[in-house]
Structure formats: C-alpha cells, structure tokens
Amino acid sequence: MKIQMFTLAVIFGLMLAEWRVSDRHEARLTELGATDPPEPQYSLMAAAYPLAFLLMGVEALWRHAGIGGAFVSGVLLFIAAKALKYWAIGSLGERWTFRVRVLRGAPLVTNGPYQYVAHPNYIAVAGELVAASMMMGAFIAGPVMTGVFCVLMWRRIQFEERALAAQ
C-alpha cells in the first residue's frame, strides 16, 4: 500500500516537472510569435490527466493493493513510457508544450521517435496510464480513465494535425 502512494507521489512529481518545462517552452514560443489556436478539449485533458492518476491511487487504497507481478510489470512499462516521452520531448525541444502551439514556418520535427511514428508523446502517455493502472492495482479506474483519456488524445491529435497543416 505504501509503495503505491510513493509511486503516486513520484508520478505527480514528474508531472509537475513536465509542467514547468512546458511552461518555459510556452514562454519561449510566445517570444518567437507562436500562435495558440483555441483548443476545445485542452481543459478536459488538463483535468482528466491528473484525475486519472488520482482515481487510480484511490482505487489502490480501496483495494489495499500490494506488490505483485502487475506492479513490477507496471514499473517496467512506466519506465519505457517515460523514456519514449522524454525522447519525444528532447526531439521537439522548445516546441514541446502541453498546449498545441503553432510556430509559423517551422518544419515538422522528423527526427528521434518522430521518424517512426507521428505522435510518440501520445503513445507514451497511454503507456503511462496503463502502467499506473498496473502499479496501483486499479483494474476499474485504470481502464476507464485510460479509455477516456485516449478518446481525448484522439481528438487532440486530429486538432493538432489540422492546426499544423493550416500553417
């Protein structure tokens, strides 16, 4: 049980660190003249992402989750998902933010994981959610919130591709 709460604290700590990076990048993109197209699902995503992990933590408390094979597998998947996410962030550099920002005239990034898939960051986020579900033993909240967030990401990908194509 304590390990799940420690795991949740690590997840939220990483989330805070990523928010700070995104905030710095947003400021820089604003200086460079990037636009911020109105995104209808951003507020939902901003709320649903931390809420998903929080609900998984609540389920871990409710289930009195322990450490087993699912926890260990979840840790390994979480590490892999974070590695993919940080590779994507490193490849995008200052262009990575939580929001969709459009920098006119900037070419699409095609190096790093982007040479293999169009949206590696979103694949990584789905991996984080599945991994957290496994680590928390959240076999109700995990799949439900992963499904909800994947629908939001699908809508986000469509919005992002339209915004980038319009530049």
Side chain identity, residue 164: L
If you average pLDDT over residues 57-82, what whole number do you get? Answer: 92
**Helices and strands (H, E) in the chain, number of each type:** 5, 0
pLDDT at 132 over 70: yes
Side chain identity, residue 105: G
Q: What band does 164 get if pLDDT is binned at 50, 70 and 90?
A: confident
What is the model's pTM? Answer: 0.93
Q: What is the pLDDT of residue 1?
A: 57
Collect all residues with Cβ–Cβ distance below 8 Å to 74 and sequence separation of at least 6: 130, 131, 132, 133, 134, 135, 136
Q: Which two tokens stand for residue 24?
A: 């710095």
Please measure the distance between the N-terminal and C-terminal CA atoms of the chain and give it in whole angstroms: 49
Q: What is the pLDDT of residue 123?
A: 98
In the 8-state DSSP scheme, what is residue 39?
A: -
Q: What is the pLDDT of residue 40?
A: 87
Q: What is the pLDDT of residue 94?
A: 95
Give tens-digit pLDDT for 17-49. Answer: 999 999 999 999 999 999 989 998 899 999 999
